[in-house]
């Protein structure tokens, strides 16, 4: 069964996920991805999920910590403006079709093709490829399954996920060609300006949960005074004029990007406003903007975390919406591959 005939009457779908691999989202996650999720729910039919299956690819976290982080993700999504009455918010592990479709897609993925994924190369290089899990290796195929099940038009992510989206499109095309048109080829939705927020201490690397030092990353749930201090201590560049120049002034350019995104003022406008003033003024005023932004976000998240039953209800509703769509796609796939349907 295809859902194409009624698709015209529906809003186009959008889907994305985030891993519960830290106690808090950071500014890269928020500005690079989640802010776009919030905007897209106005015009699209949204599916947003917590990628807890992906979160165990880099080792086995304490089960209690993983559960807590998953709930924190839900609370932060809602605090950021994802509205559970409009968007399905769910846990990947509660929709078995993700792992089931991933298996079928793994059988269509070349070993060499998986090996070329740069995130696998980067992450497995840390402890040596031999000790990386097979799950880390097949991570992008599970991600393709996450996406293709929902036949979304757009997938809003940061720049680091672009290659995984390309693999997803390749696998969708391969399945459609090998069997019958089943999957929509999704488009990445990556906003150029905020596609890669950089580490404050090492402004050539991306701000990252797993790789950044504490001083390099602004955590949304941190004490706002700590975040303000991190902005004031951010590594800046030689010279003293405030100018957007990614190559020669990566530190200042990154601060301008963050400032612009938080205040909706253009980078040009900010550069004019700081003309003739030093880095110190820029940092101080950006630190104030950061405090003004994270304080209410943190308060809302902490209040939501106090209502466990409320969070579980959001996940229950999200799961129901997700299962309805995912099971239909999986049934199409199983049929086309040639699996015998279970008797009633």
Task: Report the site for ligand ATP in 2-21 (rule: CB under 6 A).
Answer: 18-19, 21
Q: Kindly tell me which residue out of 74, 78, 147, 218 binds ligand LTN, with binding defined by CB under 6 A.
A: 147
In whole angstroms, the minimum distance from the beta carbon of 216 to ligand LTN comes to: 18
* Interstrand relation of 13-18 and 45-50 (parallel, antiparallel or unpaired): parallel
* CB neighbourhood size of 54 (10 A): 22
- Do residues 79 and 311 lie in contact, with contact meaning Cβ atoms separated by under 8 Å? no
Question: Residue 197 binds what, of ligand ATP, ligand LTN, none (CB under 5 to 8 Å, by partner type)?
Answer: ligand ATP
Residue among 13, 15, 24, 33 that touches ligand ATP (CB under 6 A): 33
Annotated catalytic residue 272: no
Could you give the C-alpha distances from 117 to 114, 120, 162, in angstroms and in order?
6, 6, 10
Of 80, 47, 66, 16, the C-alpha closest to 299 is 80
**Which one of residues 28, 84, 140, 152 is an interface residue with ligand ATP (CB under 6 A)?**
28
Residue with tokens 């991600």: 143
Active-site choice (196, 206, 249, 283): 206
Phi and psi of 243, rounded to 5°?
A: -150, 145
Q: Which strand ranges, in their side-by-side order, compose the sheet holding 154-156? A: 88-91, 45-50, 13-18, 154-156, 187-189
Residue 258: which of 295, 298, 207 has the closest Cα?
207
Q: According to DSSP H, which parts of 211-266 are helical?
A: 224-232, 250-263
Can 181 be counted among the known catalytic residues?
no
Residue 146 in the binding site for ligand LTN (CB under 6 A): yes
From 88, 89, 77, 92, select the one nearest 36 (Cα to Cα): 77
Cα-Cα-Cα-Cα dihedral sign, residues 109, 195, 58, 64: negative
146 binds, among ligand LTN, ligand ATP, none (CB under 5 to 8 A by kind): ligand LTN
Shortest separation between residue 40's beta carbon and ligand LTN, angstroms: 13
Catalytic residue among 121, 180, 196, 209: 209
Catalytic residue among 123, 230, 249, 283: 123
The dihedral built from the CA positions of residue 106, 112, 116 and 122, taken in this order, carries a sign that is positive
- If one asks whether residue 212 binds ligand LTN (CB under 6 A), the answer comes out as no
Among 56, 102, 105, 157, binds ligand LTN (CB under 6 A): 157
Q: Does 51 bind ligand LTN (CB under 6 A)?
A: yes
Place of tokens 């729910």: 41
- Given the complex with ligand ATP, which of 23 and 160 has the nearer CB atom? 160
Crossing angle of helices 308-337/279-305, nearest 10°? 90
Counted residue by residue, the chain has a size of 344
230 touches ligand ATP (CB under 6 A): no
Give the nearer residue to ligand LTN in terms of CB position, either 148 or 311: 148
Does residue 260 touch ligand ATP according to CB under 6 A?
Answer: no
Residue 186 touches which of ligand LTN, ligand ATP, none (Cβ within 5-8 Å per kind): none
123 is catalytic: yes
Task: Select from 126-134, 139-147, 202-210, 221-229 the region that touches ligand ATP (CB under 6 A).
Answer: 202-210
Question: Of 20, 60, 53, whose CA–CA distance to 142 is shortest?
Answer: 53
List the one residue from 7, 114, 191, 211 that touches ligand ATP (CB under 6 A). Answer: 211
Binding site for ligand LTN (CB under 6 A): 16-19, 51, 54, 143, 146-147, 155, 157, 161
Binding site for ligand ATP (CB under 6 A): 18-19, 21, 28-29, 32-33, 157-158, 160-161, 195-197, 206-211
């Amino acid at each position: 069964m295809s859902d194409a005939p009624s698709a015209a009457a529906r809003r186009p779908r959008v889907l994305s996920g985030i891993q519960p691999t830290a106690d808090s989202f950071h500014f890269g996650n928020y500005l690079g991805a989640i802010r776009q999720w919030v905007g897209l729910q106005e015009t699209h039919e949204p599916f947003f999920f917590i990628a807890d299956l992906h979160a165990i690819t880099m080792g086995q976290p304490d089960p209690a910590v993983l559960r807590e982080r998953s709930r924190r993700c839900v609370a932060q999504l809602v605090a950021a403006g994802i509205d559970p009455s409009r968007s399905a918010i769910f846990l990947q592990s509660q929709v078995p079709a993700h792992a089931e479709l991933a298996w079928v897609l793994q059988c269509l993925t070349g070993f060499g093709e998986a090996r070329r994924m740069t995130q696998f190369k980067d992450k497995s290089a840390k402890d040596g490829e031999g000790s990386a899990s097979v799950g880390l290796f097949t991570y992008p195929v599970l991600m393709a399954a996450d996406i293709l099940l929902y036949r979304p038009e757009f997938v809003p992510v940061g720049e680091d996920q672009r290659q995984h989206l390309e693999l997803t499109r390749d696998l969708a095309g391969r399945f459609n060609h090998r069997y019958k048109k089943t999957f929509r080829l999704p488009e990445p939705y990556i906003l150029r300006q905020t596609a890669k927020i950089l580490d404050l201490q090492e402004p050539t690397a991306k701000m990252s949960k797993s790789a950044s030092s504490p001083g390099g990353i602004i955590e949304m749930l941190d004490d706002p005074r700590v975040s303000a201090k991190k902005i004031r201590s951010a590594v800046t560049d030689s010279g003293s004029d405030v100018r957007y120049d990614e190559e020669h002034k990566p530190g200042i350019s990154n601060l301008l990007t963050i400032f612009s995104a938080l205040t909706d003022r253009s980078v040009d406008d900010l550069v004019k406003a700081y003309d003739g003033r030093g880095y110190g003024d820029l940092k101080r005023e950006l630190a104030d903007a950061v405090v003004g932004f994270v304080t209410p976000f943190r308060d809302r998240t902490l209040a939501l975390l106090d209502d466990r039953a409320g969070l579980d209800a959001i996940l229950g509703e999200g799961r129901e919406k997700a299962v309805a769509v995912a099971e239909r796609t999986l049934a199409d796939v199983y049929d086309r591959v040639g699996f015998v349907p279970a008797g009633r």
